[in-house]
Amino acid sequence: MVSLAETTAVVTGGGGGIGGGTSRLFAAAGATVVLNDIDAELAESAVADIEADGGTAVAVVGDIREASTVEELHATATEVAGGAVDVLVNNVGDYRPNGLFAETDEEQWAAQYEIQLHHVFRCTRTFLPAMQERGRGVIINVSTVEAFRGVPHNSAYSAFNAGVSAFTRSLAVEVGRDGIRVNCIAPDMADTLQTPGDSMLRGRDPQLIRSWIPLGRWGQPLDYAKVMLFLAGDLSSFMTGNTLMVDGGTMAASGWYGRASGSGWTNLPDQP
């Protein structure tokens, strides 16, 4: 396993799902993890799991969309690290379809901006200066494959996640000379609390997964966490500005399909 010994890592949304898997794996690799989650129960569970396995973690409970939460997270992580943190994972996002774009409003766009992109700006801006002063650091953002393909009923979601990947590229160029690497992952088909596999199946035959996803299964939190561990460690030391697809091959295989009934779209082909 990649070693993150003597490393302090911050993971937003680090209690459950992909973030929870990342917190646990980073701690297993030796990092001291400072995790944030809006759900106190998930945050406490992650810390308990990490400590039970001999690791070290601290939780900061709060809504990462709020500036006060970011400030508390930064203050806590700085104290734990004794200065700049080594790794910042901007993981929080929310897959929540808004419907047809023509029927959306500015309140929905603003909500999507806050949960998908704005907090990434705020967290990065808060943690970056100390990394620059020290001369090293790693930032990992989480986007989605939906930023790279047409996704009906999710135009704002798709657009702001595309912004996460664009921000990743541009920031990587800006701060490379400061010794800071900035990369991103784009998940798909994640079996998590937010997008459970049973919900994605919608009562269809589980064997169909083998025809929808080239690797033949849903992604689990650990699948995504492993890629972030790679990006956090020395094995990726000459990589920056990238968005890595972590999708079981879905982007290579297919996109979205109109339903045979003519009612809406699906990213999983209809059963005959």
Q: Where are the alpha helices (DSSP H) in the chain?
A: 17-28, 40-52, 67-81, 106-113, 119-134, 155-175, 197-201, 209-212, 221-232, 250-253
Residue 3 has pLDDT above 90, yes or no: yes
Residues with Cβ within 8 Å of residue 254, at least 6 apart in sequence: 212, 267, 269
Q: Are strands 257-258 and 265-266 parallel, antiparallel or unpaired?
A: antiparallel
Contact 143, 186 (CB under 8 A): yes
User: pLDDT digits over 164-184, tens only?
Assistant: 999 999 999 999 999 999 999
Note the pTM of the prediction, 2 decimals. Answer: 0.93
For each of the domains in the chain, give its residue range(s) and CATH number, in order of start. Answer: 8-204+218-256 (3.40.50.720)
SS3 220: coil
Residue 270 has pLDDT above 80, yes or no: no
User: pLDDT digits over 16-73, tens only?
Assistant: 999 999 999 999 999 999 999 999 999 999 999 999 999 999 999 999 999 999 999 9
Contact 179, 135 (CB under 8 A): yes
User: pLDDT digits over 178-209, tens only?
Assistant: 999 999 999 998 888 888 888 888 888 888 78
Q: Please tell me the predicted confidence (pLDDT) of residue 272.
A: 47
Contact 151, 144 (CB under 8 A): no
Q: Please tell me the predicted confidence (pLDDT) of residue 256.
A: 63
Q: Which of 106, 94, 219 is nearest to 161 (CA)?
A: 94
Q: Determine whether 113 is an active site residue.
A: no
- The active-site residue, picked from 113, 157, 224, 257, is 157
